[in-house]
Amino acid sequence: MATDRLLADEMLGRLARYLRMLGCDTVYARGWSDEEIVRRAREEARIVLTRDRQLAARADRAVRVLAPDLPGQLRQVVEQVPGVRPDVAFVRCTLCNGPLRPEEPGTPAPAGSTGPGRPPPGTRVFVCGACGHQYWEGSHTADVRRHLAEWIAPGST
């Protein structure tokens, strides 16, 4: 999947998590100076997402996020950044942006992780290669898909 790489500034943490759910490689610039944001975006060829007009003007590539609310912000990024598709993809860890990989079949569940918080048997599980967090299709992803359908309805622009 070839989506653009993104870098969200400190004010856009919820947007960054959602974009990771869509499979976008999204760095969250928590506590970074504007200089660091501009430099890292250039080094890693990332599009800067920011509400700050001056920062947007300094970056090589930027989307100035105008909407105050998450639905409007997501809609704007989907419209303006090629390759961002409004569907859940198990590609990126929403916590740390690490790459997800399918869990090996037969991997025993970690101790203390059985019960309601575990996927039903036979569910495909994805694991973050960086922090080890696990992901699978469930009620949470169903909620996210429902939100996306409401927020980014075709022809709603």
Chain residues binding Zn ion by CB under 5 A are 93, 95-96, 98, 128, 130-131, 133
CA distance from start to end of the chain: 25
d(C-alpha 80, C-alpha 76), whole Å: 6
Q: Output 11 or 130, the one with its CB closest to Zn ion.
A: 130
In the bound state with Zn ion, the residue whose beta carbon lies nearer, of 66 and 130, is 130
Query: What order of strands is seen across the sheet that includes strand 100-102?
Result: 100-102, 125-128, 134-136
Q: How far is the CB of 129 from Zn ion (least distance, A)?
A: 8
Please state, in angstroms and rounded to a whole number, the distance separating the CA atoms of residues 46 and 115: 40
- Closest distance to Zn ion from the beta carbon of 134 (Å): 10
- Shortest distance (Å) from residue 103 CB to Zn ion: 14
In the bound state with Zn ion, the residue whose beta carbon lies nearer, of 3 and 94, is 94
